[in-house]
Amino acid sequence: MKKSIIISVVAAGLLVANDKVVLDEIVTVSSATKSEKNIEGVSASVEVVTQKDIDKMGASSLKDVFANVSGLHVQYGTFPSASSKSKSSISLRGMGAKGTLILVDGRRLGGEVANPYDLDRIPASSIEKIEIVKGPMSTLYGADATGGVINIITKKPKEGKPQINFGVRYGQNGDGDDKNKNINFDIKGKENKLGYSFYVNQNSTTPYTQKETADVYAKTPTGKAKPSAYPAGANALLSANLKDSYAEDVTYREDSEVLTYGGRLEYDFSDDIKAGVDVNTFKEERNGSYIGYFHPTNFNMGATTNKIPAYNVPVNSNDDNERLDIGADLEITSIEDLILKIRAYRSYYEKRNKTTAKYWADMDMRVKKHLLKTEWMQT
């Protein structure tokens, strides 16, 4: 397993023009320039979604927030897997998932194949604000920011008495399908020099499916053919077992359980030295049924031992994923109006996916076999 430590150092001069500034009336952003600035002084196209905006939306996840923001497009089917029909990614300025960079508190998020990151994994209850920079930002962030950058700022400790929020949501469509249950809790506050914030979010969904027809083909020595028309010389058993089509309930929203939790501790060693540490994690399980591009059968191609692949066959997909983010930061006011920020963080992402043929017996398989059984880790 690879391990990587990323340390970033940022020094910026902060000019204080008026000690009586009312902070609620000033919106600052950091994503467009990598330094804190008044939004009116930033030349890029920037939109800020505040916590008040999120509360008005009644959103339970980041996907619900993005559905209410103009200029953002939630896309499905953006990577080469059957289950991509039910996994979402975001696009800015038409550049797709590969050109839209998502950050959490300035840290990059590692996603699935081709960079989508399912938006149900980030609870709305943990978000303080969202900075959306529309347009090319490759100079600051690299090639994966050609469409823009989305920086999700999570809730931080605040002075005063503990602030506690608790919410429960439940919903379903008119047919009683696609049920969504959400429970969230968060607390933040500061006692003397110690600040703290913690959150936990549980989101459960039942499937939303649509009936579709899987139009099956099998590979022949010279091309493809329907199972009923498969050349007897290549394999006579295939046409007797594998059907030309299957009526399948294709999943467009998965049966899922997503648990997200984390927190942050801050300590003021002095007026000039502050330190913090944060931990965030999620665990999820997702299940769905899809029409896969292909699946190997147990039929031999003629006299060879090569297995005949079947195309457009129904498959079941199961995801069991975990992610852990750990970060630490130090802020030092070295001289007047100059702040030195040092940050180190590590991300650990473990993904397990199993994709199996739904009608494995029709493919002459004695037991259910996995088309794909992937386990990979990202740090």
* Helix, strand counts (H, E) of the chain: 4, 22
pLDDT attached to residue 12: 31
Closest CA to 354 of 75, 76, 81: 81
Nearby residues of 302 by Cβ (< 8 Å), 6 or more positions away: 221, 233, 234, 235
pLDDT attached to residue 367: 56
**Euclidean distance between CA atoms 42 and 153, whole angstroms:** 18
Q: SS3 letters for 292-308?
A: EEEEEEEEECCCCCCEE
3-class state of residue 24 by DSSP:
helix
The answer, as to whether pTM is greater than 0.85, is: no
- The amino acid at residue 254 is E
Q: Please report, in tens digits, the pLDDT of each residue of the chain (379 residues total).
A: 333 333 333 333 332 333 333 323 334 455 544 555 454 444 567 888 888 898 888 888 888 888 888 777 776 655 556 666 666 677 776 666 677 888 888 887 765 555 556 677 788 888 889 888 887 777 777 777 788 888 989 888 877 788 898 988 887 766 555 678 889 898 999 988 999 999 999 988 888 888 999 999 999 988 999 999 998 888 888 988 999 999 989 888 888 899 999 999 999 999 889 999 999 898 989 898 988 888 888 898 887 888 999 999 999 988 888 889 899 999 998 776 688 888 888 888 888 888 888 898 899 886 555 544 444 444 4
230 and 239 Cβ atoms separated by less than 8 Å: yes
**Euclidean distance between CA atoms 318 and 174, whole angstroms:** 27
**Euclidean distance between CA atoms 251 and 86, whole angstroms:** 7
pLDDT attached to residue 82: 60
Residue 236 in tokens: 């006579």
Q: What is the pLDDT of residues 311-362, one digit of tens each?
A: 999 999 888 888 898 999 999 987 766 888 888 888 888 888 888 888 988 9
Matching CATH number, 6-378, of 3.40.50.150, 2.170.130.10, 3.40.50.720, 3.40.50.2300? 2.170.130.10
Nearby residues of 7 by Cβ (< 8 Å), 6 or more positions away: 342, 343, 344
**Euclidean distance between CA atoms 84 and 319, whole angstroms:** 12
Closest CA to 105 of 128, 85, 123: 128
Residue 379 in tokens: 């740090």
- The number of beta carbons lying within 10 Å of the beta carbon of residue 269 is 11
pLDDT attached to residue 293: 84
pLDDT attached to residue 79: 54
Domains of the chain, by residue range, sit at: 6-378
156 and 188 Cβ atoms separated by less than 8 Å: yes
- Distance from the Cα of residue 70 to its chain's centroid: 20
314 and 292 Cβ atoms separated by less than 8 Å: yes
The widest CA-to-CA distance across the chain, in whole angstroms, is: 88
3-class state of residue 220 by DSSP:
coil
Residue 377 in tokens: 């880790």
